[in-house]
């Protein structure tokens, strides 16, 4: 053994190093890995409970399987911190989620051990199955393919699609269901109830133990073992006719449930499963936050991603707020929806698995029969909302901008084509921040703007959000309405202003100028306002229109802008290709104006993770970037 006892983790730079350990040392390795994660996240922040819950699984997987030759796919990837630390990224782990540092999710470009890039949930089964089919095709028969998926992620439709396909393939794919009864919030739906039933059923567990005993004895016997396993399974199936196994009925061999924190047992089981070909599923029961008291006993939702905390006391550090008075947009959404729902009994709230993140939990608490968490099921959330709208109800379907990408067809096919007035509230629009490119809400302006029967709006501050929501619940004919707003704080403290209707397609003229006007869409308009203030101090008058709508455009304001200003800047926290600025250019061309236009927004490349302001700066549309553009444009005039 080359690894010396004592500090084990410090000597592990790759899974190959782990394989030099005696199995008896794995418990200690788990302990060290767990503490490393606690030490790191408590200081630098990030996702927490999920990684602690899979420490034993992570160690067992890398101990048993031959990664990176074997393909290990983590679903969502927020639980892969242990994986990153064991695969050569221990010493750089303090840069996790920091601008220029490691990604918070597995990422192919970052490491050969990251078999598949993730961030959005429920993709692991399909990806691992694709890899398994490829290996077969390429005659790489020794390769293993493993998908680790949580019970929350398994509620996503694509996970079912993957299992449905896997069940009729003879590919070598192992699905590990990491069942901790939690999504970010408590998991929901019938599958969750089923998993609880199967975990607690005495009959099932007794039989299962018998199978495992047999497996333990037989696994070294290769092919003949497989035949016997099949017979035993068939025996189980007939005995459990009254309680047929969901996964077995999809033709996946089901093993478990097993204790996901018993690393030695996991090693034995995974070694056994390695020798059983074909699609199979291992059901592991784990505890989110395992091994850290405050997380295990406290609120699992809070400890999903708690921010920094005192690891001794478990006290979560409060963020020093730059603007202590301004609430978060998401909280304004949550409170406003309840306020509106109290006076309009047709309003219904919908979230696909983000009740805390979106603040729909406020309505779920106050009006449980009128607010729905539908699981990680964006497609369903949209079509469910469409169904509600057909019956005259007024759905407010809150989906993060990047997750809405999942439900694009539903928006077109089920909402727009049928002229249904569904309201979409797109949270986390623009740069998401530390979660990075998988979570940036970069595309929604462009992908919604091209749809008939779709209104695209964005508030510049909290009371504008309230007024847009107020407007959204007023009767209107057959158009969907999307209201996009960013993650985090707004700008004003007195947001609980009386509701005012906003005329659809009407912007606001905030400031008149001389030569140059900034047309902004959404919260980033506040950068523009700051630049106007700065320039005013130098007696340079810049016009500023908060357009509010990317569709329909306020044509009156645009005619004014192009008739009066030779220079126009468009500003948005969304992709430049096809976004708000593109809409303005279309207007200019269609109306034969010839102003000089500069478009500021998200460029046509993948922007990595970092604080929102760092990414705005990188892309040149923070206040300094806008000022630079203004100066450039005006200097051109003075030449």
Ligand X SMILES: Cc1ncc(C[n+]2csc(CCOP(=O)(O)OP(=O)(O)O)c2C)c(N)n1
Of 145-153, 386-394, 610-618, 628-636, the segment contacting ligand X by CB under 6 A is: 145-153
| Cα torsion angle, 599, 601, 607, 611, sign | positive
Map residues 390-429 to x or -, x wherever contact with ligand X holds by CB under 6 A: -------------x--x-----------------------
Of 148-156, 332-340, 468-476, 496-504, the segment contacting ligand X by CB under 6 A is: 148-156
- Closer CB to ligand X, 121 or 410, in the complex: 121
Is residue 183 within the footprint of ligand X (CB under 6 A)? yes
- The set of residues, in sequence order, having a beta carbon less than 8 Å from that of 586 and lying 6+ positions away, is none
Is residue 288 within the footprint of ligand X (CB under 6 A)? yes
Helix (H, G, I), strand (E, B) or coil at 457: strand
Annotated active-site residue in 34, 290, 406, 551: 406
- Closer CB to ligand X, 54 or 569, in the complex: 54
Q: How far is the CB of 89 from ligand X (least distance, A)?
A: 20
Of 107-115, 147-155, 451-459, 518-526, the segment contacting ligand X by CB under 6 A is: 147-155
Annotated active-site residue in 89, 253, 378, 466: 378
- Closer CB to ligand X, 59 or 576, in the complex: 59
Distance CA 565, CA 187 (A): 54
Q: Choose which of 3, 12, 63, 78 interacts with ligand X (CB under 6 A).
A: 78
Q: Choose which of 153, 420, 434, 630 interacts with ligand X (CB under 6 A).
A: 153
Structure-token match 């996503």, residue found: 156
Map residues 31-50 to x or -, x wherever contact with ligand X holds by CB under 6 A: -------------------x
Is residue 353 within the footprint of ligand X (CB under 6 A)? yes
R_g of the chain computed on alpha carbons: 27
- The set of residues, in sequence order, having a beta carbon less than 8 Å from that of 149 and lying 6+ positions away, is 75, 122, 124, 125, 159, 175, 176, 177, 178
Beta strands in 364-488 (DSSP E): 371-373, 394-400, 423-427, 454-457, 480-484
Is residue 473 within the footprint of ligand X (CB under 6 A)? no
Tokens of residue 621, six digits: 């549309």
Is residue 180 within the footprint of ligand X (CB under 6 A)? yes
Q: How far is the CB of 411 from ligand X (least distance, A)?
A: 15
Distance CA 131, CA 175 (A): 13
**What angle in degrees, to the nearest 10, is found between the helix axes of 202-218 and 263-274?**
60
Q: How far is the CB of 22 from ligand X (least distance, A)?
A: 29
How is residue 315 annotated by DSSP? Answer: P
Helix (H, G, I), strand (E, B) or coil at 502: coil
Contact by Cβ (8 Å): 401, 426 = yes
**227 part of the active site:** no
Q: How far is the CB of 351 from ligand X (least distance, A)?
A: 10
Task: Tell me the residue nearest to ligand X as measured from the CB.
Answer: 150
Q: What are phi and psi of 457, to 5 degrees?
A: -125, 160
Of 151-159, 327-335, 604-612, 627-635, the segment contacting ligand X by CB under 6 A is: 151-159
* Sheet strand arrangement including 516-521: 508-511, 542-546, 516-521, 567-575, 596-602
Annotated active-site residue in 288, 484, 567, 598: 288
Is residue 376 within the footprint of ligand X (CB under 6 A)? yes
Q: How far is the CB of 443 from ligand X (least distance, A)?
A: 15
Under rule CB under 6 A, which residues in 476-535 are in contact with ligand X?
none
Beta strand 480-484 with 508-511 is unpaired
Beta strands in 124-279 (DSSP E): 145-150, 173-179, 253-259
Which helix (H) or strand (E) segment holds residue 74: the answer is: strand 71-74
Of 20-28, 181-189, 499-507, 545-553, the segment contacting ligand X by CB under 6 A is: 181-189
Under rule CB under 6 A, which residues in 98-137 are in contact with ligand X?
120-121
**237 part of the active site:** no
Beta strands in 212-334 (DSSP E): 253-259, 280-285
Contact by Cβ (8 Å): 150, 181 = no
Of 56-64, 174-182, 206-214, 560-568, the segment contacting ligand X by CB under 6 A is: 174-182
- Closer CB to ligand X, 36 or 403, in the complex: 403
Q: How far is the CB of 66 from ligand X (least distance, A)?
A: 25
Partnered with residue 316 across adjacent β-strands are 309
Maximum distance among all alpha carbons in the chain? Answer: 88
- The set of residues, in sequence order, having a beta carbon less than 8 Å from that of 65 and lying 6+ positions away, is 72, 144, 146, 270, 274
**378 part of the active site:** yes
Is residue 79 within the footprint of ligand X (CB under 6 A)? yes
Is residue 151 within the footprint of ligand X (CB under 6 A)? yes
Tokens of residue 561, six digits: 């802008």
By CB under 6 A, the count of residues binding ligand X is 22
Is residue 80 within the footprint of ligand X (CB under 6 A)? no
Residues that bind ligand X (CB under 6 A): 50, 53, 76, 78-79, 120-121, 150-153, 178, 180, 182-184, 288, 353, 376, 378, 403, 406
Please give the positions annotated as active site: 288, 378, 406
């Amino acid at each position: 053994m080359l690894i010396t006892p004592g500090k084990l983790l410090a000597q592990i730079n790759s899974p190959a190093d782990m394989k030099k350990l005696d199995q008896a040392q794995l418990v200690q390795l788990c302990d060290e890995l767990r503490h490393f994660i606690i030490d790191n996240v408590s200081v630098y922040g990030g996702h927490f409970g999920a990684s602690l819950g899979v420490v034993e699984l992570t160690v067992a997987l890398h101990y048993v399987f031959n990664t990176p030759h074997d393909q290990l796919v983590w679903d969502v990837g927020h639980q892969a911190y242990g994986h990153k630390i064991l695969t050569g990224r221990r010493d750089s782990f303090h840069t996790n989620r920091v601008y220029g540092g490691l990604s918070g999710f597995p990422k192919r470009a970052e490491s050969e051990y990251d078999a598949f890039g993730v961030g959005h949930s429920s993709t692991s089964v399909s990806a691992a199955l694709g890899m398994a089919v490829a290996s077969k095709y390429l005659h790489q028969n020794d390769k293993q393919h493993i998908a680790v998926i949580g019970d929350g992620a398994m509620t996503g439709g694509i996970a079912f699609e993957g299992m449905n396909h896997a069940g009729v393939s003879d590919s070598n794919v192992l699905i590990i269901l990491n069942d901790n009864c939690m999504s970010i919030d408590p998991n929901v739906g019938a599958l969750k109830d089923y998993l609880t039933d199967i975990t607690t059923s005495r009959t099932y567990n007794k039989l299962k133990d018998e199978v495992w005993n047999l497996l333990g004895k037989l696994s070294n016997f290769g092919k003949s073992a497989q035949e016997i396993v099949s017979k035993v399974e068939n025996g189980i199936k007939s005995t459990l006719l009254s309680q047929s196994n969901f996964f077995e009925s999809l033709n996946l061999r089901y093993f478990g449930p097993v204790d996901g924190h018993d690393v030695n047992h996991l090693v034995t089981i995974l070694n056994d499963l390695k020798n059983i070909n074909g699609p199979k599923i291992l059901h592991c029961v784990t505890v989110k936050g395992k091994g850290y008291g405050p997380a295990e006993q406290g609120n699992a939702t809070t400890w999903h991603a708690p921010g920094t905390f005192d690891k001794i006391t478990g006290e979560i550090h409060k963020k020093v707020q730059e603007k202590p008075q301004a609430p978060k947009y998401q909280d304004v959404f949550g409170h406003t929806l309840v306020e509106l729902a109290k006076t309009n009994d047709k309003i219904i709230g919908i979230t696909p698995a983000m009740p805390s993140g979106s603040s729909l939990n406020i309505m779920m608490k106050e009006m449980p029969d009128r607010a729905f968490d539908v699981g990680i099921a964006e497609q369903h959330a949209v079509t469910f909302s469409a169904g509600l709208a057909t019956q005259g109800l007024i759905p407010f379907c809150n989906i993060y901008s990047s997750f809405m990408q999942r439900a694009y067809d539903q928006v077109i096919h089920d909402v727009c084509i049928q002229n249904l007035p569904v309201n979409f509230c797109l949270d986390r629009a623009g740069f998401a921040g530390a979660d990075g490119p998988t979570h940036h809400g970069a595309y929604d302006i462009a992908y919604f703007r091209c749809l008939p029967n779709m209104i695209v709006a964005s508030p510049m501050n909290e009371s504008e959000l309230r007024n847009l929501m107020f407007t959204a619940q007023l009767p209107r004919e057959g158009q969907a309405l999307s209201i996009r707003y960013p993650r985090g704080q707004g700008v004003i403290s007195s947001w609980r202003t009386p509701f005012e209707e906003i005329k659809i397609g009407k912007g606001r003229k905030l400031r008149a100028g001389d030569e140059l006007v900034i047309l902004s869409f959404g919260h980033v308009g506040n950068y523009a306002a700051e630049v106007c203030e700065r320039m005013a101090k130098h007696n340079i008058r810049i016009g500023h229109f908060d357009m509010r709508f990317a569709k329909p455009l306020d044509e009156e304001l645009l005619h004014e802008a192009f008739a009066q200003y030779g220079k126009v800047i468009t500003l948005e926290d969304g992709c430049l290709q096809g976004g708000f600025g593109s809409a303005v250019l279309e207007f200019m061309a269609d109306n034969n104006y010839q102003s000089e236009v500069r478009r500021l927004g998200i460029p046509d490349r993948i922007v990595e993770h970092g604080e929102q302001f760092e990414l705005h700066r990188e892309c040149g549309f923070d206040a300094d970037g806008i000022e630079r553009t203004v100066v450039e444009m005006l200097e051109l005039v003075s030449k």
